[in-house]
A = this chain, B = another copy of it.
Amino acid sequence: MNTDPAWMADVAFDDNGLIPAIAQDAENGQILMVAWMNREALAETAATGRAVYWSRSRQRLWRKGEESGHTQTVHDLRLDCDGDVVLLKVHQEGGIACHTGRASCFFRRLEGPAGSASWVTVDPVLKDPEHIYK
């Protein structure tokens, strides 16, 4: 029996049953991270208003913040025109989304002429990860 809510039919999961999910800070628009969701993660996110992802490395649901305390409260859940990416506008508890202790996972910027450019870390660590994951 299919117990999916009707709106799930518009979501185009990939061959692995996953869809990329972008978390954007609802307050300042910063893109915090991208993770993956399966049906169960997306359904729980919609039902609870807390971001839940599917951890590909651990092969289980990942309730964001379950270890770090850095939960994400979802204010807005959107789907793109192809139905194959979701966007969450969230309040990021603690102001830290990245496991490195930074606000955002996108802390490396390509700098220099394309042929000899390099990725430069441009955002600060806000909290030592050793103190996040105790």
The chain A residues found within 8 Å of chain B, CB to CB, are: 5-7, 10, 20, 22, 24, 28-31, 33-34, 43, 46-47, 76-82, 85, 87, 98-100, 102, 105-110, 114-119
Contacts and interface: CB of A to CB of B under 8 A. Distances in A.
Given A28-B29, A29-B30, A46-B110, A115 B5 contact: yes
Contact of A81 (B6, B10, B87, B99): B99
Given A29-B28, A34-B22, A34-B85, A7 B79 contact: no
Top-10 shortest CB links A-B: A29-B29, A47-B114, A80-B105, A46-B114, A78-B106, A77-B110, A81-B105, A34-B85, A79-B108, A87-B106
Given A7-B110, A20-B20, A87-B106, A80 B34 contact: yes
A6 B118 contact: yes
A46 B117 contact: yes
Nearest to A115: B5
B114 A5 contact: yes
B109 A5 contact: no
B34 A77 contact: no
Given A22-B31, A28-B29, A34-B85, A80 B106 contact: yes
Contacts of A33: 80
A119 B87 contact: no
